Structure 1
């Protein structure tokens, strides 16, 4: 086991080399949202925020930039605004399952360019066309997995050749088989 296998909780943290921690709009000052549990490893390479089942209707707007995993499962979030995750450059896992999300825009996840996995399952009002996957997630060139419930997808056309569909009971896992790499 390494030191990075152990997680510690925090309510706020300011990076040692940060000069703006006394100001509210400070990128290197991490403040844990009051309803959430925030965890990190010794090197801060794993920075997890867990806000599941808190009856929240929105995603907090002042989330730390250094988060790697964000869990808002089981809340009452209906709308995700454009660029909700802007500045979350190292966010790689996002769980929004079991909310009331109704729709997504093409720029909802832009700003979290390193996102690798999104769980949108059990959002009963969210319906996604198979043909819109490339457009909807176009700004996420490292995205590898999208988890949805079977009833969330409707097939208006065939799935893009970049994705394959894996079914497990009522959950669907879309796996990107060809990463979008820009030269």
Structure 2
């Protein structure tokens, strides 16, 4: 009898309790309005609301959710769910990618108060409202990942497989369009194993800082067709060999600040003509040869000055 009565419940307020997890068997199928605000919910199982076809309003404000998958929230009803998520410590994770799908937002779930619902960027730590977050900012950390339809994933050398270098932090978006690699202040052991060539081929944004790279050798960054930004800072670079930056057709920003570079001739670049921003602050530059602008015809911004 209790089960029968529970299954007929249409409105429930469980605000201010200590609920930590949600699953389908905890919630009546006939529920229309459910208030779970101010609890401790940190996990919602897949298909929790799938059979709650009458659900119209779901209040999850002020809980402990850090991530929320599409499968855990979507219901099979005709009407969309008005869901409130304010006050949760959400991460800007690739698992939130579904909120950028127009067909989901319009027909399945309406996130109430998106401008007041915030997530924290996993790389920069920046707090972004869901109405302004870009798909490229919704990132998941990985140690090794293969792109969909990758046919060589089981092999060592595979361009569609990304392996994060030891000691680094790597992130990718849901569609594999963005791939961020961050290597900072590596331990001696990790530094011995590290080389620029170990950065995944599919990387789009690379941040190297506090490393020990006195010479950037030829072909250090060779044939990375998606690389858009490359930052190598405070890593003791004294010299850069010819063609160190080789065949990087999408590279637009190169940041070499806070090193010990003395000279740039232009020979360091080969088939890397899209660079528009070059940052050289904090170096010991004495010579920048004319060949640099010839190799970088798109250059519009240069920061840094010659040492006297």
TM-score over 0.5 (shorter chain): yes
Q: Please, which of 16, 26, 35 is the counterpart of residue 148 of structure 2?
A: 16
Q: Please, which of 184, 198, 209 is the counterpart of residue 52 of structure 1?
A: 184
Q: Please, which of 42, 51, 55 is the counterpart of residue 174 of structure 2?
A: 42
Cα 1:151–1:64 shift into 2, 3 Å: closer
CA distance in structure 1 between the aligned counterparts of 2:142 and 2:150, rounded to whole angstroms = 17
Cα 1:26–1:138 shift into 2, 3 Å: closer
Structure 2: 5+ residue stretches without partners? 1-132
Larger radius of gyration: 2
Whose helix fraction is larger, Structure 1's or Structure 2's? Answer: 2
Size of the aligned set, in residue pairs, is 165
CA distance in structure 2 between the aligned counterparts of 1:64 and 1:35, rounded to whole angstroms = 14
Give 1:105 shift: 2.1
What is the root-mean-square deviation of aligned Cα atoms in Å? Answer: 2.6
Greater relative contact order (CA < 8 Å, ≥ 6 in sequence): 1
Cα 1:164–1:5 shift into 2, 3 Å: closer
C-alpha contact (below 8 Å) 1:33/1:60 kept by paired residues: no
C-alpha contact (below 8 Å) 2:170/2:180 kept by paired residues: yes
TM-score with structure 1 setting the length? 0.77
C-alpha contact (below 8 Å) 1:77/1:100 kept by paired residues: yes
CA distance in structure 1 between the aligned counterparts of 2:196 and 2:301, rounded to whole angstroms = 32
TM-score with structure 2 setting the length? 0.48
- SS of structure 2 residue aligned to 1:106: coil
Q: Please, which of 215, 227, 242 is the counterpart of residue 91 of structure 1?
A: 227
